[in-house]
C-alpha cells in the first residue's frame, strides 16, 4: 500500500498542476484540518470499489447497489470540495431517484439474471476494450504531464468564494441559477416534461400488446372480436415481462 | 493541509476510464447505462474540482445542469429499454439490432 501511495505521489508530482495549489482562498476550507484527506481517501475508496463492482459483477442488481456506493463516494468528494448543495442533490437525485429507477426497471423486467456469455458475437471485443481503457488512462496522464494547461478567462457566473467566512455555495448557486442561468433553467424544466411524456409514450406503446391484456381480452382477441377499448380502469394491470407472456405473444413472430 | 486538485482529477480520470471500459465490456443494457452514469459522475467531479480551483461558480452550475440532463436521459433510456424488453426477452445489447428495421 505504501508503494502504491508513493507511486501515486510521484505521478501527481509529474502532473504539473501543482501551480494551482497556491491559488486557493483560505476561506474555502470548511472541514477541519486533516479531515479533508480522510474524507478524500474514504470517498476515493468508495468510488473505486463501487465502479469496479459495477463493471465486474454479473448480477445487475449487485451492479446497481455498487453504483450507489460510487455515487455516495462522489457525494463525499463534493463535501470535501465545499460543494454542499451538490452533495445533497447527488444523494437525493442519484442515489435516491435514479438508482431506484434502475432497480425498479430491473425488478419490473425480471432481468436480474446473469449476462448471456455463451454466445459471444465478437470474441476480440473484451480484450480490446480493456486495452483501449488502459490506453486512454495512460494517454491522458501523459498529456497532463507534458501538456501546458491554460484555463482562459473566468466565466460570467461569478466567483465561488468571496468575502469573509466559509463559502456559501447554496446561496450563490441559487442566485446564479435564477439570474444568470434563468433561460437554461427554464429549458431544463421543459426538458424534464418532454422526457416524462416520452417515457410514458415509450413505455405504454401506441397499441396494447396481448401480454398487456387480461385473459378474457386475449380470448376475445383470438376470437376476432375487438377488445374493449378503454376499460383499463376496472381491471388490475396484467403482469408484463419475466419472459413468459412476452414470449407467448402471438404478434412476436413477424 | 488541503487535498490538491490533482488528486481529484486523477480520481475522476480513473472513474471515467472505468466507466468507459465497462460500457465497452458489458452486454447488459442496464449495466451499460450504469457505466454511463459513472462517466457522468467523473465529469461532475472534474467540474467541481475546477470550480473550487479557479474560484468560479460556473463549474457547480454546470454540474447542476448535468444532474438534470442525466435524470432525463435515464428516464428516456429506461423507457426505451422497457420498450425493447416488450419484444425481446434477453438483456444483451446485441438484441438492439432489431432497431435497424
Q: Per mean pLDDT, which range of A31-35, A40-44, A70-74, A160-164 is the poorest?
A: A160-164
Q: Which domain holds residue B63?
A: 5-100
Max Cα distance, chain A (Å): 79
Contact residues, chain B, for A63 at CB < 8 Å? 28, 30-31, 34
Predicted confidence (pLDDT) per residue in A63-84, tens digit: 999 999 999 999 999 998 888 8
pLDDT bucket at A245, cuts 50 / 70 / 90: very low
- Phi then psi dihedrals of residue A100, to 5 deg: -65, -40
Cα–Cα distance between B8 and A112 in angstroms, integer?
34
Contact residues, chain A, for B33 at CB < 8 Å? 102
End-to-end CA separation in angstroms for chain A: 58
CA distance A85 to chain B (A): 9
Which of A23, A29, A86 is the best substitution to test chain B (most B C-beta atoms within 10 A)? A86
- CATH code, B49: 1.10.287.3510
Is residue A246 in a domain? no
Q: Does the beta-carbon distance from A102 to B41 stay under 8 Å?
A: no
Contact residues, chain B, for A116 at CB < 8 Å? 27, 90-92
Is residue A230 in a domain? no
C-alpha cell of A160? 465561488
Q: Which domain holds residue A71?
A: 28-114
Q: B51: nearest CA in chain A?
A: A160
Domains in chain B: how many in total?
1
Confidence at residue A166, expressed as pLDDT on a 0 to 100 scale:
55
Angle at which helices B58-87 and A99-109 cross, to 10°: 0
Is residue A201 in a domain? no
In total, the C-beta contacts within 8 angstroms joining chain A to chain B are 280
C-alpha cell of A80? 470535501
Domains in chain A: how many in total?
1
Q: Does the beta-carbon distance from B85 to A33 stay under 8 Å?
A: no
Cα–Cα distance between A41 and A64 in angstroms, integer?
22
Is residue A183 in a domain? no
For residue B28, give the 3-state DSSP assignment: strand
Q: A60: nearest CA in chain B?
A: B31
Q: Does the beta-carbon distance from B17 to A117 stay under 8 Å?
A: no
Residue A38: Cβ within 10 Å count: 13
Q: Does the beta-carbon distance from B56 to A155 stay under 8 Å?
A: yes
Residue A212: Cβ within 10 Å count: 20
Predicted confidence (pLDDT) per residue in A119-168, tens digit: 666 778 888 889 999 999 999 888 888 877 777 777 767 777 665 555 57
Is residue A82 in a domain? yes
Confidence at residue A14, expressed as pLDDT on a 0 to 100 scale:
46
Q: State the ipTM, two decimals.
A: 0.89
Is residue A69 in a domain? yes
Confidence at residue A143, expressed as pLDDT on a 0 to 100 scale:
85
In chain A, alpha helices (H): 2-14, 35-56, 60-80, 84-89, 99-109, 125-146, 169-179, 182-204, 215-222, 244-247
Is residue A253 in a domain? no
Enumerate residues 6+ apart whose C-beta is below 8 A from B25: A55, A125, A126, A129, A130
Q: Which helix (H) or strand (E) holds B5?
A: helix B5-25
Is residue A56 in a domain? yes
For residue B9, give the 3-state DSSP assignment: helix
C-alpha cell of A10? 510521484
CB B33 within 8 A of CB B27: no
A157 closest CB neighbour out of B44, B61, B88? B61
| Cα three-residue angle A224-A230-A234, rounded to 5 degrees | 105
Tell me the average pLDDT across A218-224: 74
Q: A161: nearest CA in chain B?
A: B55
- CATH code, A36: 1.20.120.1200
Cell 490538491 appears where?
B4
Q: Per mean pLDDT, which range of A92-101, B7-16, B91-100 is the poorest?
A: B91-100
Confidence at residue A203, expressed as pLDDT on a 0 to 100 scale:
76
Contact residues, chain B, for A78 at CB < 8 Å? 45, 48
Confidence at residue A232, expressed as pLDDT on a 0 to 100 scale:
43
CA neighbours closer than 13 Å in the CB half-sphere of residue A92: 8
Amino acid at each position: 500500500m505504501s508503494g502504491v501511495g508513493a507511486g501515486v505521489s510521484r505521478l501527481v508530482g509529474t502532473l504539473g498542476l501543482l501551480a494551482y495549489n497556491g491559488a486557493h482562498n483560505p476561506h474555502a476550507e470548511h472541514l477541519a484540518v486533516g479531515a479533508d484527506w480522510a474524507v478524500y481517501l474514504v470517498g476515493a475508496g468508495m468510488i473505486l470499489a463501487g465502479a469496479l463492482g459495477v463493471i465486474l459483477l454479473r448480477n445487475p442488481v449487485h451492479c446497481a447497489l455498487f453504483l450507489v456506493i460510487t455515487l455516495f463516494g462522489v457525494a463525499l468528494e463534493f463535501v470535501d470540495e465545499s460543494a454542499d448543495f451538490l452533495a445533497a442533490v447527488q444523494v437525493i437525485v442519484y442515489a435516491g431517484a435514479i438508482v431506484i429507477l434502475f432497480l425498479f426497471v430491473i425488478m419490473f423486467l425480471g432481468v436480474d439474471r446473469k449476462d448471456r456469455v455463451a454466445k459471444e458475437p465478437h470474441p476480440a471485443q473484451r480484450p480490446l476494450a480493456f486495452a483501449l481503457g488502459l490506453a486512454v488512462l495512460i494517454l491522458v496522464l501523459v498529456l497532463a504531464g507534458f501538456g501546458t494547461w491554460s484555463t482562459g478567462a473566468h466565466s460570467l457566473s461569478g466567483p465561488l468564494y468571496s468575502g469573509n467566512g466559509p463559502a456559501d455555495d447554496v446561496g450563490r448557486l441559487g442566485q446564479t441559477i435564477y439570474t444568470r442561468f434563468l433561460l437554461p433553467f427554464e429549458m431544463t424544466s421543459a426538458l424534464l416534461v418532454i422526457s416524462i411524456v416520452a417515457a410514458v409514450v415509450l413505455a405504454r406503446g401506441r397499441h396494447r400488446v396481448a401480454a398487456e391484456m387480461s385473459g378474457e381480452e386475449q380470448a376475445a382477441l383470438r376470437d376476432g372480436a375487438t377488445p374493449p377499448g378503454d376499460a383499463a380502469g376496472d381491471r388490475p394491470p396484467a403482469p408484463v415481462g419475466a419472459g413468459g407472456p412476452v414470449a407467448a405473444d402471438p404478434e412476436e413472430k413477424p | 493541509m488541503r487535498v490538491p486538485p490533482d488528486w481529484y482529477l486523477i480520481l475522476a480520470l480513473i472513474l471515467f476510464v472505468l466507466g468507459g471500459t465497462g460500457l465497452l465490456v458489458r452486454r447488459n443494457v442496464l449495466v451499460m447505462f450504469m457505466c454511463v452514469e459513472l462517466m457522468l459522475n467523473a465529469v461532475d467531479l472534474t467540474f467541481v474540482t475546477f470550480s473550487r480551483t479557479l474560484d468560479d461558480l460556473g463549474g457547480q452550475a454546470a454540474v447542476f445542469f448535468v444532474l438534470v440532463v442525466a435524470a432525463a436521459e435515464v428516464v428516456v433510456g429506461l423507457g426505451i429499454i422497457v420498450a425493447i424488453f416488450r419484444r425481446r426477452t434477453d438483456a444483451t445489447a446485441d438484441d438492439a439490432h432489431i432497431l435497424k428495421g
